[in-house]
Amino acid sequence: MTNHIALFEPLMPANTGNIARTCAGTNTKLHLIRPLGFSTDDAHMKRAGLDYWDKVDITYHDDLDDFLQSIPDENYLYLITKFSDKTYSDQDFSDTSKDHYFLFGKETTGLPEKFMRENPEKCLRIPMSNNIRALNLANTCALVIYEAVRQQNFEGLELEHHYEHDKLD
């Protein structure tokens, strides 16, 4: 079982870099759906991911259809949007026999409206107040992926920190 984060036409390199770092920390595969609003060599993106880029499994897709064709079972595709009655924490992600795919929209416009209307059963939202239009994309990805790995009992993740330089004497 693997979790996957897919970014539909991401625009901001810092968000993508932070999301890549979250992917490295959770053993999550990252999918970037073109067109991208930046070069993957962008210094801001590299800085946001720090030295974790070699730990991230990234797949590039030419468009949304290309990404959708790569998913073996669309029953495990989740569209993260503010236009849903079902919250992400109400969804069951515990089936570790299947890969789970979390698709996030572009920072400015989200996912294509037509696509979401055609797939309302796949839509999940994060509750928030009306004080803002949307949460930051990188924060949204972190919330959702950590809910998934929590439900999966943090399978494959270290529950204790084992770095020598972090130990207290």
Number of H helices, E strands in the chain: 5, 6
Chain CA centroid to CA 34, Å: 15
Lookup: tokens for 144: 């959702």
DSSP states along 42-107: -HHHHHHHTT-GGG--EEEESSHHHHHHT-S-GGGEEEE-SS-SSBGGGS----TTS-EEEEE-BT
Q: Rounded to whole angstroms, how far apart are CA atoms 114 and 29?
A: 26
Instruction: Look up tokens 């989740």; give the residue.
Output: 78
Instruction: Kindly tell me the sign of the dihedral angle through the C-alpha atoms of 125, 129, 133, 137.
Output: negative
Q: Is 80 annotated as a binding residue?
A: yes
Lookup: tokens for 33: 């759906």
Q: Is 49 annotated as a binding residue?
A: no
Q: Answer whether 79's CB lies under 8 Å from 123's CB.
A: yes
Q: Is 33 annotated as a binding residue?
A: no
Binding-site annotation: residue ranges: 80, 105, 126
Binding-site annotation: residue ranges for S-adenosyl-L-methionine: 80, 105, 126
